[in-house]
Structure 1
């Protein structure tokens, strides 16, 4: 299984409704992709002050395998959502941290 972790530093001027729309669209996309198992999103609630490096929100998506993850990455709907994420984060791609691990 591949765990795809994405953390964001949203700009302060990005409304909560826009953020929720991104998460909702990701859930809709993942519901129709073979091998996409679960998606969870939310705000950082860690008590370890400063350790988040400003990445205040994120989502974790589990895939059955690397092939399912790779199909997601090139999917046109993912590309559109990823573009919205980058446009909404502080510093563009600098405001996004992606980490995949095999579990």
Structure 2
């Protein structure tokens, strides 16, 4: 499995309602793309408080690297990605992406 991890530093004027709408659009991808196993999104609630301005993020669990490639090419992902870049502080500079291979726990 691949865990696609995205952290976003939204511009200060972007409302929580707008962020929720972007994340809701993101969650819809699970219904249209086979191999997307789970999507989780939200605002950090870390007691460590070392987010460095990246207060929102999401993870997408994908079956394998081929599904990640299909996810990246999917028009719904491109639309959500464009909305994220538009809303992020500094555009693409306000977004961090990390793809982590996750082994089966058994």
Task: Give the TM-score, by structure 2 length.
Answer: 0.92
Runs of at least 5 residues in structure 1 that lack an aligned partner in the other structure: none
Match of 1:30, SS state, is: helix
Q: Within the alignment, does 1:79 sit opposite 2:78 as a pair?
A: yes
CA distance in 1, matches of 2:5, 2:88: 16
Root-mean-square deviation (CA), in Å?
A: 0.8
Q: Within the alignment, does 1:27 sit opposite 2:31 as a pair?
A: no
Report how far residue 76 of structure 1 moved: 1.1
- The residue that corresponds to 1:90 in the other structure is 89
Q: Which runs of 4+ in 1 moved over 3 A?
A: none
Report how far residue 17 of structure 1 moved: 1.4
- The residue that corresponds to 2:67 in the other structure is 68
Match of 2:33, SS state, is: coil
- The residue that corresponds to 1:44 in the other structure is 44
- The residue that corresponds to 2:2 in the other structure is 2
